[in-house]
Structure 1
Amino acid sequence: MATTTSEPVNLSTTIHFQGYGNKTTNNRFEQPDWQVALWAIAYSLIVIVSVTGNVTVIWIILAHKRMRTVTNYFIVNLAFSDLSMATFNTVFNFVYATHSNWYFGLGYCRFQNFYPITAMCSSVYSMAAIAVDRYMAIIYPLKLRLSSTSTKIVIGVIWAVAFSLAFPQCYYSVTEYYPPRTLCFVNWPDDYGGKHHLTYQIALIILIYLLPLLVMLVTYSLIGQTLWGSEIPGEASDHFQNQIQAKHKVVKMMIVVVTTFALCWLPYHIYFILGSFNIEIYMQTYIQQIYLAIFWLAMSSTMYNPIIYCCLNQRFRSGFRHAFSWVPFIKVSEEDKMELQHTRTFRMTRSYRTDNTNNDHTPVKIMKS
């Protein structure tokens, strides 16, 4: 599951695993310079777009009081996870995959095997937390919401869980020198494909892919039934109508984010789980190209979210215009300024309407600003 792998896709022809085969330096996966150049451009695109977009998202939320909501704090955590993965993992793994040589020492080898799982776990659990928060806000609007402090505690727990799940990858990471190359891989106690490795691999797929996606599928399905399956009362106030529409947009945006994440990472998980059962897959002639394509798709998930926010959310769109107002053809309108500068909060309260004919007191929901 780690992005810097012990699999022979990144190694020489005959260096399979520790103590396995002849330790020669022949590299059957070496690519011509023009292919490496094309892949370098493709991976550079991920880093540039991801860093620019996610830094902008973090600035939009933290620099504008109106944007500091529970959902947006989780989006900040999601953006930081994507940003750090693009910065600390993408380039180094690409260099290792194309050169079959680890240049960065044992310390960074451990980090490189540890952090991608940490960041991915943080990302998917942040999306699950957003789904649960939206569920509580829409299904149970009168219940107490998470406070700013509680949200930060939840984010801290998410990172603690992420560190715990990724620790085995760090602990078993090693570098070994087979002249003239150095290899970085995870040296499992019972070798690659053994009980320890296979158990860990399956546990990760369940805990950082299948289970969080199941939680999001259930919560967003229930939210969808509530928002799209019921009619807005005819006597509802403008505030109430506006809030329902706003919730529609946020839920749609997050469904697109989750779907994009699931599709980007699905081939990656399939690739490694198949390799866990059949290591010969990694010896196929074109496996290096397949791996680079699958890894590019997985890493590209770090750059899509800012684009989705900008396309589907007016406030984020206004924020991006503010951030890039120095670009000649981007203009900031008065509406954009109002979107981010004016704070309007809504809360749900209970009031009572008295029927003059029978003195019946019927509770109704009123939106107050």
Structure 2
Amino acid sequence: MGVFSVMGVALNIMVIVVTVRHKQLRQPLSYALVNLAVCDLGCALFGGLPTTVTTAMRHTNFGRVGCGLEGFAVSFFGIASLCTIGVISVERYMVVCYPMGAVLFQTRHAIAGVVLSWVWSFVWNTPPLFGWGSYEPEGIKTSCAPSWNSRDAGNMSYIMMYFSLCFALPFSIIMVSYARLLWTLRRVSKLQLSEAASTHRMEAQVTRMVVAMVLAFLVTWLPYASMALAVIIDSQLQIDPLTATIPVYLAKSSTIYNPIIYVFMNRQFRKYAVPTILCGWNPWASTVELSEGETTAASVNRNQKVLAKECLGE
């Protein structure tokens, strides 16, 4: 947990710093990706590192107030992260399926999505601080989270609302957006038109990166959400504390995956990030990438029309 937390802090700070330093990276999608890095950084600082300390001490020593604040912080950044992935999925859907549409995904839309993700997370993570639900130690009692194993009626009603609006709803938006997006990309690829090839490759590359982020998030957070929901539904279900801790630690390790995926699957970001890490040396740099980028930029306007016609079924 310590290794993952320290690496998560370092990598997410790198994503933020590189994006801020290079104005070429300040695109609508980048606002959401930087916000995702901020969320992961918060989870690592307020979740991963404290859990490392309390696990070494074999118990939480934050007290009830400290436990509530730690549980709130991790849940706040975690739900904001999931909502941000939902914003990214909508952005990809609009860019790929409606490149020439009446409403284009612009910077103001990205900022609005980022603000909404924080507001939504704040609204649904504050009730336990005021009596509806609660934050309690979980697993082997080295970290705190919403009390999903309590049988209190008020607590169970909060957890059900929390699961529905903070996990199931964003998850549904993500799945619908990507199902439509992947279907569109598949149809475009069947056209086998040379004039749409460069745009298709460009959008497909970014889409693969975001899909990898979604899968990484689900692999790390879905076991935790499923375990909590199973305990709520079946009042007789008893899970061993050590077993219950595995999904908790898996969820807290999610902070490291997004920046790794971002660096290695986003060619534009890699162009600036790798030299920053390696003091100016970029092992992926090549004249082939440069020529491909120039060709793509020159043909974007023409190729967008092909994608738009295909998305509209013309």
TM-score by length of 1: 0.69
Does residue 214 (structure 1) correspond to residue 172 (structure 2)? The answer is: yes
Q: Which residue among 126, 140, 153 is the counterpart of 1:167?
A: 126
Q: Deviations over 1:270-309 (max 9, x none)?
A: 3323334447725x4xx23x23322121111111111112
The residue aligned with 2:193 is 234
Residue 175 of structure 2 aligns to which amino acid in structure 1?
Answer: L
**Residue ranges of structure 2 left out of the alignment (5+ in a row):** none
* Bigger helix fraction: 2
Larger radius of gyration: 1
Does residue 272 (structure 1) correspond to residue 228 (structure 2)? The answer is: yes
Q: Partners of 1:168 and 1:75 in 2: how far apart?
A: 28
Work out whether residues 135 and 223 of structure 1, in 8 Å CA contact, stay in contact via their aligned partners in 2: yes
How many residue pairs end up in the alignment?
296
Work out whether residues 271 and 282 of structure 2, in 8 Å CA contact, stay in contact via their aligned partners in 1: no
1:77 is displaced (CA, Å) by 0.7
Work out whether residues 61 and 67 of structure 1, in 8 Å CA contact, stay in contact via their aligned partners in 2: yes
Q: Which residue among 287, 290, 293 is the counterpart of 2:246?
A: 293
The residue aligned with 1:255 is 211
**Residue ranges of structure 1 left out of the alignment (5+ in a row):** 1-42, 176-180, 353-363
With over 3 angstroms needed to count, the CA separation of the structure-2 counterparts of 1:196 and 1:245, relative to structure 1, is: same
Mapping 1:8-87, distance limit 5 Å: 43-87=1-45
Residue 274 of structure 1 aligns to which amino acid in structure 2?
Answer: A
Q: Which residue among 104, 111, 114 is the counterpart of 2:62?
A: 104
SS at match of 1:56: helix
RMSD: 3.7
* Bigger strand fraction: 1
The residue aligned with 1:309 is 262
Q: Deviations over 1:216-245 (max 9, x none)?
A: 111111111111223456362xxx532221
1:81 is displaced (CA, Å) by 0.3
Mapping 1:113-132, distance limit 5 Å: 113-132=71-90
1:170 is displaced (CA, Å) by 2.6
With over 3 angstroms needed to count, the CA separation of the structure-2 counterparts of 1:165 and 1:95, relative to structure 1, is: same
Q: Deviations over 1:258-278 (max 9, x none)?
A: 111112112212332333444
Work out whether residues 141 and 348 of structure 1, in 8 Å CA contact, stay in contact via their aligned partners in 2: no
With over 3 angstroms needed to count, the CA separation of the structure-2 counterparts of 1:147 and 1:170, relative to structure 1, is: same
Q: Partners of 1:50 and 1:315 in 2: how far apart?
A: 21
1:346 is displaced (CA, Å) by 7.7
1:85 is displaced (CA, Å) by 0.5
Q: Deviations over 1:34-72 (max 9, x none)?
A: xxxxxxxxx011112211211111223222122111111
Q: Partners of 1:255 and 1:292 in 2: how far apart?
A: 27
Work out whether residues 264 and 300 of structure 1, in 8 Å CA contact, stay in contact via their aligned partners in 2: yes
Q: Partners of 1:235 and 1:272 in 2: how far apart?
A: 50
Residue 125 of structure 1 aligns to which amino acid in structure 2?
Answer: C
The residue aligned with 1:34 is none
With over 3 angstroms needed to count, the CA separation of the structure-2 counterparts of 1:139 and 1:337, relative to structure 1, is: closer
Q: Deviations over 1:141-166 (max 9, x none)?
A: 11232332332222112101100010
Residue 160 of structure 2 aligns to which amino acid in structure 1?
Answer: I
Aligned residues with identical type, % of pairs: 22
Work out whether residues 131 and 216 of structure 1, in 8 Å CA contact, stay in contact via their aligned partners in 2: yes
The residue aligned with 2:112 is 153
Residue 36 of structure 2 aligns to which amino acid in structure 1?
Answer: L
Work out whether residues 128 and 135 of structure 2, in 8 Å CA contact, stay in contact via their aligned partners in 1: no
SS at match of 1:281: coil
Does residue 138 (structure 1) correspond to residue 81 (structure 2)? The answer is: no
With over 3 angstroms needed to count, the CA separation of the structure-2 counterparts of 1:174 and 1:325, relative to structure 1, is: closer
With over 3 angstroms needed to count, the CA separation of the structure-2 counterparts of 1:336 and 1:137, relative to structure 1, is: same
